[in-house]
Homo-oligomer: A and B are copies of this chain.
Amino acid sequence: MEIFFAPEAMPDAETIIFGGNTARHISRVMRHRPGDVVKATDGRGTEFELKLTAVGVSRVEGRVLGRRMRPTEPRHKVALAQALLKGRGLAQVVETATELGVSEVIPFLSERTVAKMSAVRRSRLQHVAVSGLETSMRTVLPCIADCVSFEGLLGRMTEFDMTVVAYEGECRFGIDDVLDKDVRSVLAVVGPEGGFSELEIDRLKVTGAKVFSLGPRRLRAATAASTVVALCLQRLGDLG
């Protein structure tokens, strides 16, 4: 069971049509047949229940039986700001964070960032988010933001009730000490493999961010990112 992404579906659609890779996936990989009941989402909050009426390799059509709004979405907005990572790292972060329930992933540059962000890479990451949405049955597609500078990251903090930063140099506070349970939105920040510089941490703190520790073991950035997202959602009551 998964949910199929139909970005062009209108919320009041009576019929939904899939083309391209999604049609191929439904017909060839999932081997659905006319009459099968499946789920689809516009990625903007609507979940459709569909009865498939025509199944071809390049075109699949379904009739809408019912719709629900955001049945599996977290109530809180948790965005992940992740310093660029080399290789497959960032894609792994986007996939896991999407499944867990982030609203947005914001890649950013920092002093010790070695990777680069191209338009192609961003579009690939957006595809990874679609795949995460489909397997996790979500109905809101997380946005993969343009890569921002460290300044740009500080600038985006005002959009959230709170910003929390995982930092290996912190040893007094855990997530429960810094994240208020009653915020509606939180920006969770995870640095590059080499960590943040002290200057960067100072600037985050001066701008209002709260710094916390994930414990004495050193985590790869991808592990830190999924852990931070899980802990934020758990703290806010959005993870079971």
Q: Which residues of A contact B (CB under 8 A)?
A: 1, 71-72, 74, 96, 99-101, 135-138, 170, 173-176, 212-220, 223, 226-227, 230-231, 233-234, 237-240
Contact = CB atoms under 8 A, between A and B. Distances in A.
Given A230-B227, A230-B231, A217 B175 contact: no
A72 B240 contact: no
Nearest to A3: B218
A230 B230 CA distance: 8
A217 B174 contact: no
A103 to B, nearest CB: 13
Contact of A240 (B137, B213, B238, B239): B213
Say how many copies of this protein the assembly contains.
Answer: 2
A72 B234 contact: no
Given A136-B219, A174-B234, A230-B230, 5 more contacts: A101-B217, A136-B217, A136-B218, A214-B240, A231-B239
Contact of A135 (B72, B96, B216, B218): B218
Nearest to A174: B240
A111 to B, nearest CB: 17
A10 to B, nearest CB: 24
A218 B101 contact: no
B71 A216 contact: yes
A177 B212 CA distance: 24
